[in-house]
Structure 1
Amino acid sequence: MVATEDVYNRISVLRAERGVSRKDLATALGVHYQTVGYLERGEYSPSLHLALRIAAYFEVPLEVVFSLKPFPRLGSEVK
């Protein structure tokens, strides 16, 4: 079995639900706003420290924000 380095996330979904801009999230986390964009697009995987801070910011468990498997599409869970 070949391991993949992909880390999937729901940062953009959580931001949209809460009305938080990339810039506001970046400021709260102490990172550049472009870093948030890279994270959302999967172009950058966060350090464990940053991942924990993102989960804490949204007040959700880490696995709500990040996964090693793609998240199901919204609406596909309700059947």
Structure 2
Amino acid sequence: MKNRLKVLRAERNWTQADLAAAVDVSRQTINAIEKGKFDPSLSLAFKFSRLFDAPIESLFFDDSDSKN
């Protein structure tokens, strides 16, 4: 799953550690999500949504259509 976390984080001049602390996960978790190696749980996706004041669908999207 692709996401916009890195862009949104950079717009706020936050480090991965800053974002991790804000949603109560490890920096390594943020790194894995940003690189698409790990999909967040629904509860974590909601935390990102509230933090960035944006719908989950605008933060995370399925890239399977682009592979066809």
Q: TM-score, normalised by structure 1?
A: 0.76
Query: Runs of 4 or more off by more than 2 Å in structure 1?
Result: none
The alignment status of 1:45 with 2:39, answered yes or no, reads yes
Superposed CA deviations along residues 35-68 of structure 1, whole A, max 9, x for unmatched, are 0000000000000110111111111111111011
Aligned-pair identity (%):
41
Q: Which has the larger radius of gyration?
A: 1
Q: What residue ranges of structure 2 are gaps of 5+ in the alignment?
A: none
Number of aligned residue pairs: give it. Answer: 64
1:16 to 10, 13, 16: 10
Q: Mind listing any 5+ residue stretches in structure 1 that lack a counterpart?
A: 1-6, 71-79
- TM-score after normalising by structure 2: 0.87
Partner of 2:25: 31
Greater helix share, 1 or 2?
2
